[in-house]
Structure 1
Amino acid sequence: MATINPDNRGLRLFVRYVVLVLIALIFILPLVFMVMSSFKPDRALLADTGSLRAFLPVGELNLENYREAFDRAPVALFVFNSVFVTGVTVLLSLAICSLAAFSFAFLSWRGRSLILSVVLATLIVPFETIAIPLLLIVSKLPWIGLEGIEYTWLNSYRVQIIPWIADGLTIFLFVQYFRDLPTELIEASRVEGASWFQVYTRVVMPLSGPVIATAAILKFLVMYNQYLWPLIVVQQEAYRPVMVGLQYFFQLNTAWGEIMAYLSLITIPVLAFYLVLQRAFIASIASTGVKG
């Protein structure tokens, strides 16, 4: 009977940890550089980029870049706009796309496979090809608001949210996950008299924590990093998101320290969202395993 050499096992474990640490450094070092640079004046920032000092809190450190960033642009407003638009879009997308996926996965209706194929085919259509036609549509669409009927969606939150609620990737993720769920649970629920909507809300969705977290993270990244579409449809400063606000720091003179400070500030919601979703993801897996 073959035995495992403890020395070889320890060596493999050591190599594995070294590789994981190197991979982690590849992702962490740019963030460290960004944060450290945000506390340095431009002269020191550019001088340190050729050495390890760029990743260390050394030299002239102050909060001047952050103060000047808030003076140059309404940073808090841009962050609020992006968080609001992204949060609403993610919540609506999870609800709408999961309902559509539930229909594709569990209900039998004519043309289901064809329509699902059309939905998946939209994944290969670049957004740039539909940007102008979509702009022409939303520029003339009516909207009933608090101030009455408006005949355009431009310069609003809705134009940044509604076109992005449903997408083929999110529906595909939910469909694939739903199809892997035990059909016995669905059949037992139906036998006990549960409606399809009750099956969706009380059986399927409580077991779908991992795919919800995955879809939410992917949707969050897409929406929070939106640049082209808001640049086209939003001309008023009150509705601009963080990525469009970045161009404020390239006007007249490029202030690299202020740019790093701005990037550090707009990264905070991303890290917070990831940490929350990570905990929810782990908790959902643990609860699913306990329920069995």
Structure 2
Amino acid sequence: MDNILGYKNQNVVITGAASGMGAAATALLIEAGANVYALDIGDVTAPVTKALKVNIMDKASIDAALTELPDTIYSLFNCAGVPHPPTPVYETIMINFVGLRYLTEQLLPRICEGGAIISIASTAGMAWRVNLERVQEFLALDGFEAASDWLKAGNELGQQADAYGFSKQCIIVYTMQMAGELAKHHKRINCIAPSPTDSAFMDSLATAGIGKDVTALFCPSNGDFATGADMGNAVVILNSKLAGFISGCNIPVDYGYVAEVTMGQRNNMLEISL
């Protein structure tokens, strides 16, 4: 059972490694023997192979980091993310999706056969079906600058999506759109949709007046908030060799919340669809 996850001596890249879900995944990857290249605007304290200061909403910052990353990569973990509110609309979408997509597509040629990409979406993004036309319009914009210009122009995000929800809808749709093409090259892509998670992210929401009394409405029936480790474990498993035939999936990691909504056992306040 040695190296059951397949990470031993493999190069992996992870964003958002300084805290929360990213930090939890980073710790597990180190334990699994991976060479971890950690990207974050904050300080990464884990004993990674290399820590790089990166502002994921700044193309030049990403480009500088790319020069420091290895030529061959086994897995990419897109864990960086911010809440809205309090983060402004433009920054939220640039960090949560535009920078994520740019980094992913720059690294795709370096990801080896059998390699994988995982991103963190949200149950808040699972209304993607009702906003699909707007999401696809945004995804069709060619490149980092075009997406930035579109957002700066003040375009409406659609009635069903706030900035945070829209950014996570983009992750989910992008993941599904990319799966077929990546399969031709024996590479995988997935995302997870966490339920409310007790983290610094949640603390940021609280400063904007969205406390646990509100977010608890979207917790599973056990009443628990997830931990960063719950989500870190999930992304590490999904990018591992154990999940080698799973691709193109948005996987709720929510102790059954989405299942309850789908079966009509909970009010579908988020307009969730699978």
Structure 1 length as normaliser, TM-score?
A: 0.21
Pick the structure with more strand per residue.
2
Structure 2 length as normaliser, TM-score?
A: 0.22
Larger Rg: 1
